[in-house]
Structure 1
């Protein structure tokens, strides 16, 4: 099917506009890490909804998604006013966008994570004859792709740390999905091993991560659903982040809404673990430079931080939410996290493990559902922001609960399902050997 019939891809750096082929992730002129964005012919959210108003999950907003097909089985986040949690935090207008398993609120993301929004959108965009998609993940994105590929049969190789396997088991597995788990590794080990598989060439191709416009516009559905429920954009947006892809996506969606309504995108509060917070460090350095606290050259776009394997391994053990550990977030790239924070006068907040544990317990007590560690970090940071008077108590706040309901889902499914297509590898194992084994098992 033709791509780009209802949208154009635009480079955030040079402004070049071009059609989509379903795979492109970099500007053909700049040839750097600058992010691409989409521009749609649908001029408003109402116009975007009118394309397929009864479509499943995120495809309700198909007019603002870079897709050529709808993938069945998708769910929208549950956006509701959190009166109990709001009262406990002293907030009068707190709203939650919950993604996970919560049937009573008609939210059925069976993998327990908002990453399903991106997985279904990516599969809605990719050409069916593209080859075998390789996705490196800390766990949640892989779980989401396992779930989505049960609905749309597409060959995928998911490379994850070994510790991520239990979360994937909850989602089941499709017939043409293969899982490669790196023994004792962290997220960056999965990234490196996935790159090794990709280096073997055809038919493997990268999913694209933050540079995939479908991934970001899919995650941006959180903001679209919230706007439709609230009737306006929130004043503040709060989310736990590793790479920051979801927060970039929410901001892009808010900008798209604001351009047609005259509203203002919300101020963004990003949340990270105290034990490993590269975005906090980078943003603190940037703001100090702009205020004269550092040499002038520090105010220029900063490079992405170099990975530190030792630090990443340690943080995976010590931090509350290992899925937030990303040593190379897209900070200084055009359209990346630094631009997001600058555009919204945003901040990066931190929470430690005791704070996150207390926040998770508070959320379950007041809202009635369990949440994942990353979401608990977001609740903890919101609590601290209120205590430190960083947020007015009467502000309209949208809290993105990026995962939850897994404990309940496990109980209902007797602990999850078997993973017949998973294999363990060592970080030192030859990716070429693994690639050949994968192709053989997929009969390619």
Structure 2
């Protein structure tokens, strides 16, 4: 923690009513409002002052709702593409890379932009001695485990058993981090359900997902990086989405930059993508439906098994909620696109050949949709395009370092009861 860091000055605002209120420390919802809605951080500093790279993600602390900084973070790296840009015939393609690519200045030790969330959320966390609970399909769990282990923050992770291969690390994880899983055949939604049961116990506190302003504003550092590096707000924003939280964050950052006044007044078109056949947001958007269309649980689990980008598997994303992805896209413009497993694998190969580093399957889905969109002639070659590479460098990281895996302390059935969860937690955390 930086000793001379002063907590960021901000207030919170309801996206439903516009009512402004103070952050009580871990506020996830607007007080005394019945209809669910996201809340937003309104920062005292309207013009961002980007600090030194040595501060990692906290170089953007003017627009992070934090009370402290933590050790070990890296900011995303934005650079102007040459190889992929030439392949696509684009003159202003910028890549924002959150992963392991030291030569570009990207030093994400978990190789995922989920680190931006973890460092922001844990920087907001006050010292209330409660155990933070995070549900994840993989990358988020890896990021929070690394950050909480390094900074001695008690953490409970809930992850589907089939996704445990995502829990790899360059150094061992300390005992303050505990991992539990939902049995094989379960998915991210089942892990969320388990985390909700744990949060009924007094000793635990929910991380909050998209409702946590620190999570969204941490992810917004990808756009903070791009806009301040390019010198203007891009015309297009490409990203693959599981929950859509990163795209909501991008929209919110865009609005802050408009208010900043130095980077333009345009709104980036949000070009978000999903992995076929799991397409809940794609299907809803194409029908212009605010609500996610009904999908049988077992069918959803089967579709999740089929997709190569497992992290894009949220069955109940913050799409419909006021201030969520539907509202973001209606305001900013854009489209929901899709890519098959084969298209994503081909796109990953093209990216590595043209740019020189490997990328995660979710990022490959975004690249695949950008390739398709450009090849269909839908992008002006002079358009300023931001491609958010949400994870990469993992293959290189694993070649260069010896990795260890975090094993679950307990595997639960898909729908455990509270007493069983309590018994396991009492034992794990010696409550």
TM-score by length of 1: 0.91
**1: distance between equivalents of 2:405 and 2:346?**
32
Alignment of structure 1 residues 2-401 onto 2, 5 Å: 6-46=9-49, 49=50, 53=52, 56-170=55-169, 172-184=172-184, 185-199=186-200, 201-261=201-261, 262-286=264-288, 302-305=290-293, 308-401=296-389
d(CA) in 2 for partners of 1:235, 1:166: 37
The structural deviation recorded for 1:249 is 0.4
Residues in 2 aligned to 1:436 and 1:55: alpha-carbon distance in whole angstroms: 43
Q: TM-score, normalised by structure 2?
A: 0.94
Does the 8 Å CA contact 2:284/2:291 hold for their aligned counterparts? Answer: no
Pairwise CA RMSD of aligned residues? Answer: 2.0
Closer, same or farther: CA 419–320 of 1 in aligned 2, 3 Å: closer
Deviation digits for residues 195-253 of structure 1 (CA, Å, limit 9, x no counterpart): 22223x20112100000000000000001111111011111000000110001001101
Deviation of 1:78 after TM superposition, in Å, equals 1.4
Q: CA deviation at 1:170?
A: 2.4
Q: Distance in 2 between matches of 1:345 and 1:74?
A: 32
Q: CA separation in 1, counterparts of 2:187 and 2:400? A: 29
Q: Deviations over 1:166-197 (max 9, x none)?
A: 22122542321111111212111111111222
Cα distance, 1:431 vs structure 2: 4.8
Show structure 1 runs of 5+ residues with no match: 287-297
Most deviating of 401-410 and 434-443: 434-443
Aligned match for 1:432, one of 402, 419, 425: 419
| Whole-Å separation in 2 of the counterparts to 1:163 and 1:32 | 35
1:322 aligned counterpart, secondary structure: coil
* 3-state SS in 2 of match to 1:269: strand
**What are the superposed Cα offsets for residues 282-305 of structure 1, whole Å, 9 maximum, x if unpaired?**
11111xxxxxxxxxxx6xxx3345
1:6-63 alpha-carbon deviations (Å, 9 max, x no partner): 00000011111111123111111213320000111112012xx3xx546521111111
Does 231-240 or 428-437 show the bigger shift? Answer: 428-437
Kindly provide the CA deviation profile for residues 302-339 of structure 1, in whole angstroms up to 9, marking residues without a partner as x. 33455632122111221121210111111221111111
- Equivalents in 2 of 1:57, 1:196: separation in Å? 34
Deviation at 1:154, TM superposition (A): 1.0
SS in 2 for 1:323: coil
After the TM superposition, which of the residue ranges 230-239 and 164-173 deviates more from structure 2? 164-173
Structure 1 stretch displaced more, 111-120 or 144-153: 144-153
CA distance in 1, matches of 2:81, 2:8: 39
**Partner Cα separation in structure 2 for residue 78 and residue 118 of structure 1:** 16
* Equivalent residues of 2:158, 2:192 under 8 A apart: yes
Secondary structure of 1:157's counterpart equals strand
Query: What SS does the corresponding residue of 1:29 show, helix, strand or coil?
Result: coil
Q: Deviation of residue 393 (structure 1)?
A: 2.0
Tell me: CA distance 1:54–1:75, structure 2 relative to 1, closer, same or farther (3 Å). Answer: closer
3-state SS of 2:232 partner: coil
Q: CA deviation at 1:269?
A: 0.1
